[in-house]
Amino acid sequence: MTELVSPPRLPKGALRIVALGGLGAIGRNMAVLEFDGRLLIVDCGVLFPEAWQPGVDLILPDFDYLDGRWDDIVGVVLTHGHEDHIGAVPFLLRNREDLTIYGSELTLALLEPKLNEHRQKSATLEVVEAGQNREIGGFSVEFLAVTHSIPDALALAVRAGRNTIVHTGDFKIDQLPMDGRITDLNGLARVGDAGVDLAMVDSTNAEVPGYLISETAIGPVLDQVFNQAKGRIIVASFASHIHRIQQVIDAAVSHRRRVAFVGRSMVRNMNIARDLGYLKVPGNTLIRSDALTDLPDREQVLICTGSQGEPMAALSRIANRDHPIEAGPDDTIILASSMIPGNESDINRVINGLSKLGATVIHQGNAKVHVSGHASAGELLTFYNIVKPRNVMPVHGEYRHMRANAELAELAGVPSERVFIVENGSVVDVRDGDVAVTGQVPVGFVYVDGASVGEVTESKLKDRRILGEEGFISVFAAVDTVTGKVIAGPELHERGFTGGPESFEEVLPELTQALEKALGDGVTDEKQLSQVARRTVGRWVARTHQRRPMIVPVIVEG
């Protein structure tokens, strides 16, 4: 972690960028731009928890940097509708409800139900289109079409004073996108010719050589899988991957199958996409999932969530035999997505569970059923050669991805001293074509746990990990501070501890001796006696079992 150095006052005419998320991990994307005392926010997404964060539902950007400056925010610009870019907006609006949010038609349509769920009605949703320029409180923002794994994605060219930056959002250069809406290379070249002081560039696939194949290449693979399937087909996908789901629907129609959406987010998003014309569904194709029993298995296609092994998603529950839909030997399951780093074990668990039920499981490892939505090395080089930025700041990726992206920028001619690999909280100032890292502000993880936001601390997560991995031991004893004796107990009880109750017999004399020695030394405070008990039992457990369970002592005066 970079040492915290408070940034200096922003010089007149300079543009400041502070990333509150999205660097060093895939998710929680959020950047704050400052110019002339006003703030513009780019994206506001969530990060999904990993196994070492038990009980956590979502992880938010740390908004503390904005404390005292909420009235300076002139708007929020969203690059596209994925959760890691829009999912934290409702939590942002808890601090200021009347913000104006700019995004494409589909992006705002996917955001609106989230705001309704949080009962937020004061925000203004302003639809923008590719090719438009908007003046937003002293910032001039040009919106440029880019291809991604969701329709209507946008890159941004932001001008503030004499400074110009390009923020790619998530993008790739798909030559044959499903909707015919290609990445606006002409627009990027025009912006580049006028001069780009800093490019903030998607790094996710920087380690992948060459060019990605087009999304349309998935169609023939799906057609082949459908042709070989004997019975029901179940497809797991992100609820936002409209192009992928369109291809599944096309294959279903071609093979005379009906389609049912399973899961609340899938049903909601597909209804939105269909109503807006992004998803085209021929008549008599859709059927309610509860009406599937009226159809033979060979005429069914179910599209559900759970491609990342999420425990409560439909596919995981099917694999665990905890869902009304039961998978069997004639079923074909398609996981139409990649493995997001950190989800490998969960996904493999689902694949194994489905395989145990006899189903045929098709996934990225054995068939080309997924194409990434992020630019590979060849596409990133094309971007750099077209835009010709003076400075580059890799974003959206783990550190290895950002490092690979930085090396590509240098290959394309950007001097190494003008390539900035920074971390969340770094303060980056742009002025007259020069870029400098001028400080670091504190940023942390803000955990959403049920209805609580920010109440779960790293200490509490550590306790949860200990409980889950090492177990729990409670210690009780009553003492007489006058005689210096233990008059009841000590008693030890365990939950989830490997040793078992019978093994505690050998530590009881040791614990009694330690407590009575402390009492003899004049220690009478119950808290201090509890610490003696904790240390004594802890040393014994470490010595005899090589474990570190949570130990909760209760010492009372009898």
- Run of H or E including 76: strand 73-77
CA-nearest of 91, 143, 144, 100 to 118 is: 91
Instruction: Give the pLDDT of residue 423.
Output: 95
Query: pLDDT digit string (tens) for 538-557?
Result: 888 888 877 777 788 888 88
Query: pLDDT digit string (tens) for 283-331?
Result: 899 998 888 888 999 999 999 887 777 776 788 888 888 888 888 899 9
Whether residues 306 and 223 fall in one domain: yes
Q: Would 2 be classed as within a structural domain?
A: no
Q: Would 346 be classed as within a structural domain?
A: yes
Question: What number of helices (H) and strands (E) belong to the chain?
Answer: 14, 25
Q: Which CATH number characterizes residue 275's domain?
A: 3.40.50.10710
Whether residues 137 and 262 fall in one domain: no
Whether residues 204 and 263 fall in one domain: no
Instruction: Give the pLDDT of residue 473.
Output: 78
Q: Which CATH number characterizes residue 39's domain?
A: 3.60.15.10
Query: pLDDT digit string (tens) for 409-426?
Result: 999 999 999 999 999 999
Whether residues 473 and 418 fall in one domain: no
Q: Would 381 be classed as within a structural domain?
A: yes
As to burial, measured by CB atoms within 10 angstroms (0-12 exposed, 13-18 middle, 19+ buried), residue 413 is: exposed
Instruction: Give the pLDDT of residue 529.
Output: 86
Q: Would 79 be classed as within a structural domain?
A: yes
**Those residues with Cβ within 8 angstroms of residue 352's Cβ, 6 or more apart along the chain or in another chain:** none
Q: Would 506 be classed as within a structural domain?
A: yes
Q: Would 38 be classed as within a structural domain?
A: yes
**Residue given tokens 């007489």 in the structure block:** 480
Q: Would 449 be classed as within a structural domain?
A: no
- What global pTM score does this model have? 0.82
> Which neighbouring-strand residues pair with 201?
394
* Cα distance between residue 421 and residue 435, in whole Å: 12
Q: Check pLDDT > 80 for residue 429.
A: yes
Is the sign of the CA dihedral 55, 61, 64, 70 positive or negative? negative
Q: Would 226 be classed as within a structural domain?
A: yes
- At 355, phi and psi to the nearest 5? -65, -35
CA-nearest of 98, 408, 104 to 240 is: 104
Whether residues 464 and 537 fall in one domain: yes
- Looking from the CA of 45 toward its CB, the CA atoms found within 13 Å total 28
* Cα distance between residue 132 and residue 143, in whole Å: 6
* Cα distance between residue 269 and residue 292, in whole Å: 21
Is the sign of the CA dihedral 395, 396, 400, 401 positive or negative? negative
* Cα distance between residue 386 and residue 186, in whole Å: 9
Whether residues 199 and 295 fall in one domain: no
DSSP secondary structure, 229-276, as one string = --S-EEEE--TT-HHHHHHHHHHHHHTT-EEEEESHHHHHHHHHHHHT
Last-in-domain residue among 334, 362, 390 = 362
Verify cis geometry, omega within 30 degrees of 0, for the bond prior to 501: no
Whether residues 191 and 223 fall in one domain: no
> Which neighbouring-strand residues pair with 447?
59
Confidence of residue 378 (pLDDT cuts 50, 70, 90): very high
Q: Check pLDDT > 70 for residue 3.
A: no
393, 226 Cβ separation under 8 angstroms: no
362, 332 Cβ separation under 8 angstroms: yes
Last-in-domain residue among 320, 342, 362 = 362
537, 551 Cβ separation under 8 angstroms: yes
Whether residues 233 and 345 fall in one domain: yes
72, 186 Cβ separation under 8 angstroms: no
**Those residues with Cβ within 8 angstroms of residue 527's Cβ, 6 or more apart along the chain or in another chain:** none
335, 244 Cβ separation under 8 angstroms: no
Instruction: Give the pLDDT of residue 45.
Output: 93
Instruction: Give SS3 for 427.
Output: strand
Of 25-29, 114-118, 287-291, 310-314, the least confident:
310-314
Please give the average per-residue pLDDT across 95-121, as a whole number. 95
Query: pLDDT digit string (tens) for 252-283?
Result: 999 999 999 988 889 999 999 999 999 999 98
* Cα distance between residue 319 and residue 321, in whole Å: 6
Confidence of residue 1 (pLDDT cuts 50, 70, 90): very low
Whether residues 31 and 168 fall in one domain: yes
Mean pLDDT value across the chain: 89
User: What range does the domain containing 182 cover?
Assistant: 15-210+372-444
CA-nearest of 270, 338, 266 to 304 is: 266
Q: Give the number of other CB atoms < 10 A from CB of residue 508.
A: 17
Instruction: Give SS3 for 297.
Output: helix
Number of domains in the chain: 3
Whether residues 537 and 413 fall in one domain: no
Query: pLDDT digit string (tens) for 119-142?
Result: 998 999 999 999 999 999 999 999
Q: Check pLDDT > 80 for residue 558.
A: no
Whether residues 355 and 310 fall in one domain: yes
Query: pLDDT digit string (tens) for 35-85?
Result: 999 999 999 999 776 555 555 667 889 999 999 999 999 999 999 999 999
Query: pLDDT digit string (tens) for 512-529?
Result: 888 888 888 888 888 888
Q: Which CATH number characterizes residue 545's domain?
A: 3.10.20.580
Compute CA distances 533 → 83, 337, 341, 509, 558, whole Å.
Answer: 47, 51, 42, 12, 16
**Residue given tokens 């030890």 in the structure block:** 492
Whether residues 358 and 381 fall in one domain: no
**Those residues with Cβ within 8 angstroms of residue 191's Cβ, 6 or more apart along the chain or in another chain:** 142, 144, 157, 164, 166, 387
Last-in-domain residue among 362, 387, 412 = 362
